Amino acid sequence: MTHRRLTISEIETLAFDALSASGARADAARPLAKAVAAAEAEGIASHGLAYVPVYCEHLTCGKVDGAAVPRVTQPSPAAIVVDAGTGFAHPAIDQGFAQLVPLARKMGIAALAVRNSYNCGVLGYHTDRLAAVGLLALGYTHAPASIAPVGGRRAVIGTNPFAIAAAGKDGRIVLSIDQSASVVAKSEIGKRKREGKSIPPDWAFGPDGEPTTDPDLALKGTMAPSGGYKGFGIGLMVELLASAAAGALPSTEASPFAGTAGGPPRTGQFFIAIDAQATSGGIFADRVEALAAAIGDQPGARLQGARRAAARHAAESEGIAVPSELLARIEAIRSR
């Protein structure tokens, strides 16, 4: 497979142009294109350019409204709500963050609920942005049902990721956790299917409820929860926040993020921003750095978020290798 090496800026421009050509307004295409470029820079190819043809297909088939304008309300003193209007989650989150950040500093803690939205991509991308301005950030997003309860076969919740991010004294993000309720993100199985590769037997179950190494059967079955019943419990927590508390559709009613059937998924996101320097008496950043050092100083130990940060640093100086075939597909979309 041949590759071309692109800069982060070139990837953002390519994604923006393809999204715009498919019907997304500029204010919707830009934040999503930035997130696509960030995913590529951090080595998360499953949420990078590989997803752009899917985004564009969903713009043209009506699963996402490229002309939607998010509507922001404040139903209570410490809560912001954004209705994405079946548009992309990224512009809705951007508008919500514009009010969430000053509100969290004023109140000490504030929440943002986003409803009627589409896939928000890498959840940690959003919580990192809150941490970068000095807040302790927690994020939750649910997805179409793909995980059955332990002992069951019918999917009830999605892969339902949660993310946490915190910065140190110099504003540099020190800890960044982004993990789903499943063993692996569903997009990784889709990526293996596109590449014609098998999956490990502990990733998913086929329609018969048995473990499978076939990504096609896995996509027709259910995802394996991480840590058994504990992972399912984490997924339920996310469902309560990103779906129920945000006023979004439950995972059991949300249409798939893949394919063209079912109309807009109308899923949701939920963010909590905390002024932890205030609640800790001014020692939060010091404690975060000490905690990170206790992990990072151990030979062989991996600090959450460190791999993404290293990949981003390399991408900034060396660029990013992108499959030529994928670039050709996106160039064709951009040129139509």
Choose the catalytic residue: 40, 42, 188, 289: 188
Q: Which of 215, 170, 165 is nearest to 188 (CA)?
A: 215
Q: Which of 39, 45, 46 is nearest to 125 (CA)?
A: 39
Q: For residues 143 and 286, state if they share a domain.
A: yes
What is the β-pairing status of strands 71-76 and 79-83? antiparallel
CA 162, CA 303: separation in Å to the nearest integer? 17
188 labelled catalytic: yes
pLDDT digits (tens, 9 = 90+) for 63-95: 999 999 999 999 999 999 999 999 999 999 999
Classify residue 204: in a domain, yes or no: no
Q: For residues 173 and 256, state if they share a domain.
A: yes
pLDDT digits (tens, 9 = 90+) for 95-138: 999 999 999 999 999 999 999 999 999 999 999 999 999 999 99
Task: Assign residue 256 the CATH number of its domain.
Answer: 3.30.1370.60
Residue 5: give the domain boundaries: 1-61+305-336
pLDDT digits (tens, 9 = 90+) for 246-291: 999 999 999 999 889 999 999 999 999 999 999 999 999 999 999 9
The answer to whether the CB of 78 falls within 8 A of the CB of 110 is yes
Classify residue 208: in a domain, yes or no: no
Classify residue 193: in a domain, yes or no: no
Q: For residues 277 and 132, state if they share a domain.
A: yes
Does the pTM surpass 0.85? The reply is: yes
Classify residue 152: in a domain, yes or no: yes
Q: For residues 106 and 31, state if they share a domain.
A: no
CA 131, CA 161: separation in Å to the nearest integer? 18
Q: For residues 52 and 178, state if they share a domain.
A: no
The pLDDT value recorded for residue 98 is 98
Of all residues in the chain, the percent with pLDDT exceeding 70 is 100
Choose the catalytic residue: 42, 47, 182, 289: 47
CA 97, CA 129: separation in Å to the nearest integer? 9
Q: For residues 242 and 328, state if they share a domain.
A: no
Considering its fold, how many domains does the chain have in total?
A: 2
Q: For residues 322 and 267, state if they share a domain.
A: no
Choose the catalytic residue: 46, 117, 176, 182: 46
The answer to whether the CB of 231 falls within 8 A of the CB of 225 is yes
Q: Does the pLDDT of residue 292 top 90, yes or no? A: yes
Classify residue 165: in a domain, yes or no: yes
List beta partners, residue 211: 205
Mean pLDDT of 171-186: 91
**Hey, what are 78's tokens?**
């410490």
Classify residue 217: in a domain, yes or no: no
Q: For residues 316 and 289, state if they share a domain.
A: no
Task: Assign residue 52 the CATH number of its domain.
Answer: 1.10.1530.10
Classify residue 27: in a domain, yes or no: yes
Q: For residues 178 and 56, state if they share a domain.
A: no
46 labelled catalytic: yes
CA 119, CA 133: separation in Å to the nearest integer? 24
**Could you tell me the maximum CA-CA distance found in the chain, to the nearest angstrom?**
57
Q: For residues 15 and 126, state if they share a domain.
A: no
The answer to whether the CB of 228 falls within 8 A of the CB of 237 is no
Place 194 in a pLDDT band, splitting at 50, 70 and 90.
confident
Q: For residues 74 and 141, state if they share a domain.
A: yes
Count CA within 13 A, CB hemisphere, residue 150: 14
CA 181, CA 8: separation in Å to the nearest integer? 30
Question: Please, what sign has the CA dihedral across residues 90, 93, 97, 98?
Answer: positive
Q: For residues 122 and 46, state if they share a domain.
A: no
Classify residue 187: in a domain, yes or no: no
